[in-house]
Amino acid sequence: MSSFNDPLAAAAPWWRTRPGGCLRIRGGRALFGSYPISGAKNAVLPLMVSALLTPHLVTLHNVPANLDVAVLSALLRRFGAEVHWSTSRKGLSVTICADRIQPGNIDRNLVARMRASVLLLGALLGRCGEASLPMPGGDAIGLRSIDFHIAGLEAMGGKVTPAGGVIHAAARAGLHGADILLPRPSVGATENLLLAAVLAPGTTVIRNAAREPEIADLANCLMLMGASISGLETGVLTVQGGAPLAGAIHPVMPGSHRDGHDCLRRGDHEW
């Protein structure tokens, strides 16, 4: 087993690297029956990150068993979170306990495997007031800047400094509410700013916010935890932040044909 696979095996015991192979299919037969749809990858990753915002338990049901989920599980463990898995007839579930968080440097190899690791910035700044994160990796659909993320976090009082391939972020006096206008709708920036805003005292308004279903799923989970968020149908999100969050039990929204392909479809280079 490689050094990269070791943390995955510890964080997500269900994950197994599968060698490449060849499928031979003989068609011509009618299909019937039903098959359960697992949770959407684009939805589950920010939901898992949201567990960093509270010391209480967050349980997610209908979790998809894919590589990004395994990688994020290992990243959360690096911060000191406990990650517990269970399976049932209804699928895979995870319970995350982040009562003790240490926002230090994390494994570059893990971060390089997934774009969504940038969402850790908003959550860690909101919870701990600091974060240090290697530049996120992930898909190969082109260079997608995180300028929208940085500008929004700085408007909320954070100081974000990318240097030497590492993003250093700090909010020594804590984050605060702000009026933020995104130059264009960005799924990742909208999620990152939501994660940061729910613990930031004051009112945060995110204008020109993305309106994808996974953003509503994240907002619904945060509201279940006690956050105050409005405007989900309008593209202008208003967050009344600063209140401590409780735990939650939340089912991940089902995946669809567009899950993982939205940026390709839009030609959107800003995540």
**Three-state DSSP class for residue 163:** strand
Domains with residue ranges and CATH for the chain = 5-13+38-251 (3.65.10.10)
> Number of C-alpha atoms within 13 angstroms, CB side, residue 188?
24
Residue-level pLDDT, tens digit, the chain, 271 residues: 444 556 788 888 888 776 667 888 999 999 888 877 889 999 999 999 999 999 999 999 999 999 999 999 999 999 999 999 999 887 899 999 999 998 876 777 887 777 788 899 999 999 999 998 887 754 433 345 789 999 999 999 999 988 888 888 999 899 999 999 999 999 999 999 999 999 999 999 999 999 999 999 999 999 999 999 999 999 999 999 999 999 999 999 998 644 444 433 333 334 5
Reading the block at residue 23, the tokens are 């499928």
Would you tell me the crossing angle of helices 41-50 and 187-197 to the nearest 10 degrees?
20
- Separation of alpha carbons 17 and 1, rounded Å: 9
Among 180, 111, 177, 174, smallest CA distance to 149 is for 180
- 253 CB-near residues (< 8 Å, 6+ apart): 39, 40, 43, 213, 214, 217
